[in-house]
Structures are given as structure tokens and as C-alpha cells.
């Protein structure tokens, strides 16, 4: 991976020069891709992610959007505190670092930060993980597969051992591909802080709350066994967290 920076007036784009040959703001323009028939779908949630067929392969374009009460003030504007501290640039760097160390994350392709006075907007393009489904979508069909849940726990442990503190570890940010490989996504506001065991424990507790909230009622009796298998994979056998 070769990270490069493209500066143009009041915007900065950081990109992988091995994958993206012609960086520019057009890459982050939804209309640009729709006019070319390159939009293949959209992610569930806030409607901020598009699945694209690009010249540099299948990709996901995600705008940085606010949720909750901050969205009432501004849906997509953030206070500018420097290019390197903007959320798109920061997430690109973290993903590049994790990918370089062979951690299972989507490969970062490009990120843009646009400044407008004291504020900025941004977007990120990553490689799309083919044939992947979220753990949330697989809960009912794979509730009897202890091996899958152990793999999820082992994957999370790899990130924690590296020092990654995920800002929103939940069942929708864990992907399972067609070979049952596990990936983590959405590293907005994530950080690397080796030895921060308290934050890692908080991550696990957050994941459990997410699983409890999203668990299908039809297989309610299987939830505890799946969570126990996840903890086994993580290395916390017998703990309920």
C-alpha cells in the first residue's frame, strides 16, 4: 500500500496510489456514480453507505453523518481542527495501519476532507468485502454454530491484543464472508491504545448489549450458548461480562 495525498483548494484527499490512479472529489460524489450506473446497493442504517462498482474494484462509499441529537444541529458538518485530525483522514490511517498488520479490516482506498470555514465534511471509500453479511443478519440462521461464534470472539481478541479500541463494537459492525472469515468495520473514532484493558472490557460489554438487543425472539433460548462460545473464542471462558 502506498498512501499519497492530493490537495485541491479547500480539500484534502488521502488515497492508496496502488489502487486509485486518478484521485479527485468526483470519487466521493454519489451523483457521479449513479450517472454511470455504478451504484449496486446501499447499506442499512442511516443511508450513508453506497456499494459501488468502480474502476479500482468493488467498493463502499460512506459519508460521515451524525446521528442522535447532534444531527439536529448539523447532519454532516464537523468542527475543523486540522486536516490530520479530521475523521476521514484519521480512519484512513487507522485502517491502513491495521491492514498492513494483516488484521481483518476493509482495505482503505481513499478519504476526503472538505473544509468550509470553521467546519468540514468528509467521506471514505473502502474495498467491499465480497459476499459478506453482518453478524446481526446471521443470528437466527447460525445460532447453532458454536464455531462461528468462537471465531467472532477470537477475531475481536486479535484487535484488542493489538491495542485497538473500537468506538462502536456491535453486531452490525462485524462481517462474516462466504468463507466464514470474520471482519470488523467502521473504525470512525477508533484508536490504538495498547494495554487499555478497561476499554477492551467496555467493548465486550457493548457487543453483548448489541447482541441482546438484536437477538431474534424465535431463537431466544440459544443466545446464552452463542455468547458463551464467543467468550471462549475471546479467551474469557466462564465470564458473563
Residues 6+ apart with CB under 8 A from 3: 14, 15, 16, 17, 92, 93, 96
| Choices 1.10.10.10, 1.20.1250.20, 1.10.510.10, 3.40.50.20: CATH for 133-234 | 1.10.510.10
Confidence band, pLDDT 50/70/90 cuts, at residue 236: confident
Whether the predicted pLDDT of 68 surpasses 70: no
Q: Name the catalytic one among 76, 97, 145, 168.
A: 168
Q: How is the chain split into domains, by residue range?
A: 3-127, 133-234
- Nearest CA to 116 among 62, 66, 72, 77? 77
Confidence band, pLDDT 50/70/90 cuts, at residue 238: very low
Average pLDDT, the chain: 92
Whether the predicted pLDDT of 4 surpasses 90: yes
Confidence band, pLDDT 50/70/90 cuts, at residue 167: very high
Rg of the chain's alpha carbons, rounded to an integer?
19
Residues in the chain: 241
Q: What is the pLDDT of residues 92-124, one digit of tens each?
A: 999 999 999 999 999 999 999 999 999 999 999
168 annotated active-site = yes
Amino acid at each position: 500500500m502506498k498512501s499519497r495525498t492530493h490537495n485541491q483548494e479547500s480539500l484534502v484527499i488521502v488515497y492508496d496510489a496502488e489502487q486509485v490512479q486518478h484521485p479527485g472529489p468526483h470519487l466521493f460524489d454519489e451523483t457521479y456514480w449513479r450517472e454511470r450506473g455504478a451504484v449496486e446497493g446501499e447499506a442499512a442504517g442511516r443511508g450513508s453507505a453506497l456499494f459501488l462498482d468502480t474502476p479500482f474494484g468493488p467498493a463502499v462509499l460512506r459519508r460521515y453523518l451524525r446521528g442522535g441529537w447532534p444531527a439536529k444541529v448539523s447532519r454532516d458538518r464537523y468542527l475543523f481542527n486540522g486536516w490530520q485530525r479530521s475523521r476521514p483522514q484519521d480512519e484512513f490511517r487507522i485502517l491502513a495501519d491495521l491492514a498492513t498488520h494483516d488484521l481483518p479490516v476493509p482495505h482503505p482506498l481513499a478519504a476526503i476532507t472538505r473544509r468550509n470555514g470553521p467546519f468540514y465534511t468528509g467521506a471514505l471509500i473502502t474495498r467491499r468485502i465480497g459476499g459478506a453479511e453482518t453478524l446481526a443478519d446471521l443470528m437466527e440462521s447460525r445460532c447453532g454454530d458454536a464455531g462461528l461464534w468462537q471465531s467472532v470472539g477470537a477475531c475481536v481478541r486479535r484487535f484488542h491484543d493489538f491495542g485497538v479500541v473500537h468506538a462502536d463494537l456491535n453486531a452490525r459492525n462485524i462481517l462474516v464472508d462466504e468463507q466464514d472469515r470474520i471482519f470488523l468495520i467502521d473504525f470512525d473514532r477508533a484508536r490504538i491504545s495498547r494495554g487499555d484493558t478497561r476499554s477492551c472490557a467496555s467493548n465486550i460489554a457493548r457487543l453483548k448489549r448489541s447482541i441482546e438487543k438484536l437477538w431474534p425472539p424465535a431463537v431466544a433460548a440459544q443466545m446464552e450458548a452463542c455468547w458463551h462460545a464467543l467468550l471462549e473464542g475471546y479467551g474469557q471462558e466462564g465470564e458473563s461480562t
